[in-house]
Every structure is written in C-alpha cells, then in structure tokens.
Amino acid sequence: MTDELPSWRTTATRSAIVDFVERVSGNGPDAVPAEERVAVFDNDGTLWTEKPMPTQLHFLVEQWAAAAKADPALADAQPYKAAASGDLSWLGDAVDKHYSGDESGLKVLIAGILAATSGQSVDEYEASVAEFYRVARHLTLGRPYSGVIYQPMLELLRYLEAHGFTCYIVSGGDRDFMRPMTVANYGIPPERVIGSAVGLSYTDDGEVRYGSSFSFMDDGPEKPVRIWTRIGRRPILAGGNSNGDLQMLQYVQKHPLSLSLLVHHDDDTGRGDVPYDKGAENALAAASDPAGGITVVSVKDDWAAVFPEQA
C-alpha cells in the first residue's frame, strides 16, 4: 500500500480508498466487472491547484489584455477592464458568486470567452492553449502548471488504473482547454475529458470552428447529465472539491458500491496549497453529515506531499 500511494499518509481516508478499491477489483462478493469500474474527477482544485485563479482564467486574462491593448475601447468593460488594469478582484468575485448561486458575473465571463474564441478553428485554439501551457507559470508559485498537479491525486489515478478502473475528467472548465495537457499531466486521453463547451460548427473550408454561443456549462447538476451522455454508465468513484461537484459526488452514490471523495483545502502548513472553504460550503456541509456518504480528503492531514518534487 505504501508503494502504491506514497504521498498519502496512513489515515482512515487512505484506508477507505484502498479497502474500496480492493473490494470492487477483487474476487469477493463485492467485485465489480472491469467495464463498470469508472471513476470521474473534477480538475481545478481536485487534480491541480485553482488558486489564485483557475488556469483557464489565467489564459483568458492574457487574451483579454491583448484584446484591450489592440482596441482600447474594450478596457472600459469587464472582463477586459480587469485584465487590462491588472486588478483581478472582479474576476475572483465573479467565480465566487457563481459558486454561491449568483450567475451575473459568470455571464459576463462567458461573453468574454465567446469573444476570445469566436471564429477560431479547434486546431488553432489547441495550438494557442498548448503554447500557453509550454511557457506559462503559476502566478504565485512560479512553477510551470505541470508542477502544480496534486501528487497524491496523480498517484490515485495510477492506483485506480492498476486495478482496472477507467478514469475520466469531468470539469466545469472548458473541455478543449484541458485536452492539450491531460495526457502529459494525468495520462488521461482527450476522449475521456468532459467539460464545458462553446458551440461548434463545420465550415466550408473543412474546419470545425467555434461559434458565438455557449453550448453548456458542465457544473453542478449538469455534471451527472454530461457523465451519462458521454460515458453511458454510472461511475462508482468520484472526486471533487467544490459546491459544483456535489451532484456528481451524489450521483455515484446511487450505485450499490461507490466512493465519493471531497478534497478539503485545509492546508496551513506552508506546503504551497492555500487553505480555503469558499465555494465549497455546501459540499463540506453535506460531507459533515455521517449519512451523506462523502469521504473528506484533508490536504493537511491525509497528504504527506502536495506537489511533485521540482526537477
């Protein structure tokens, strides 16, 4: 067990994970066929850090700042104003409001996302995202984004795969923003990435291009819908960290055998993961109910390390 999950401390949480995996992948009465061993994970805040802002928002801030520089009139309106001025508090407030049920700021963000991608081919967008991942650094830690993956969660992905699980990413982030990095960072191919999406269309020049409308936001109650649409099975294991993951965690619990994991960012030990509960209040409240069936993963207590060792 130590060799398989070396960054996990020997706690009740790790025992719950190992006991569950061994039960469903063994030969006993609780064995689950390999094709039904499906695990789904949120991305931002679950598989890698999301503070001080989600990675996609960092990418978009650069896009919006460049757009405002090219057309100064844009700098008077959000989200360009925040990007051009460097005062990003409005963006953080918009994300926090979304997790509290206020979508006013999110609608403005979506409009900015649509403007940034409208008319681009999927190949053009993929190339620009790949270049961002190549050169960008985390805003406070100074590491490449490949260095702010949660090492214990990466080990969990490998552990599950070794026991016959098929792992998917199910995120509120943009599906096509995640796809260029999921193989290298998580070992998860693009066809197993489920996320929010801008509308697409096929054009006469032989390209698939982004349109001017938003297709769907893969968050909250939309996550189980997208899981079923894309996978066609109810997963038996799910991992998340926020209010937007609660329905996904509850969805897997309808399976006779399931495990729901909620990553709690309670680390105050100076290991680089800033403690916060904002945006996770509902999920944490549900996890505090003994009958709720959600296992809390404490970053502080359950993880011996947070990020991979730097080369």
Domain parsing of the chain, residue ranges: 12-51+144-302, 55-135
State the Cα–Cα distance between residues 78 and 64, nearest whole angstrom. 9
Predicted confidence at residue 216, as pLDDT, reads 94
**pLDDT, tens digit, 9 for 90 and up, residues 109-131:** 999 999 999 999 999 999 999 99
Predicted confidence at residue 297, as pLDDT, reads 98
State the Cα–Cα distance between residues 229 and 302, nearest whole angstrom. 33
State the Cα–Cα distance between residues 18 and 160, nearest whole angstrom. 10
Query: Which two tokens mark 222?
Result: 């939309």
Predicted confidence at residue 186, as pLDDT, reads 98
Reported pTM: 0.94
User: Pairing state of beta strands 208-216 and 237-240?
Assistant: unpaired
Predicted confidence at residue 306, as pLDDT, reads 97
Predicted confidence at residue 292, as pLDDT, reads 87
Other C-beta atoms closer than 10 Å to the C-beta of 287 total 21
Residue range 12-51+144-302 in CATH 3.40.50.1000: yes
State the Cα–Cα distance between residues 249 and 164, nearest whole angstrom. 21
Q: Please return the burial class of 41, using the count of CB atoms within 10 Å of its CB with bins 0-12, 13-18 and 19+.
A: buried
State the Cα–Cα distance between residues 298 and 265, nearest whole angstrom. 7
Which strands, in side-by-side order, build the sheet including 208-216? 208-216, 193-202, 166-174, 38-41, 237-240, 259-264, 294-298
What tens-digit pLDDT sequence spans the chain (311 residues)? 447 899 999 999 999 999 999 999 999 999 999 999 999 999 999 999 999 989 999 999 999 999 999 999 999 999 999 999 988 889 888 877 887 788 888 899 999 999 999 999 999 999 999 999 999 999 999 999 999 999 999 999 999 999 999 999 999 999 999 999 999 999 999 999 999 999 999 999 999 999 999 999 999 999 999 999 999 999 999 999 999 999 999 999 999 999 999 999 999 998 999 999 999 999 999 999 988 899 999 999 999 999 998 75
Contact 121, 207 (CB under 8 A): yes
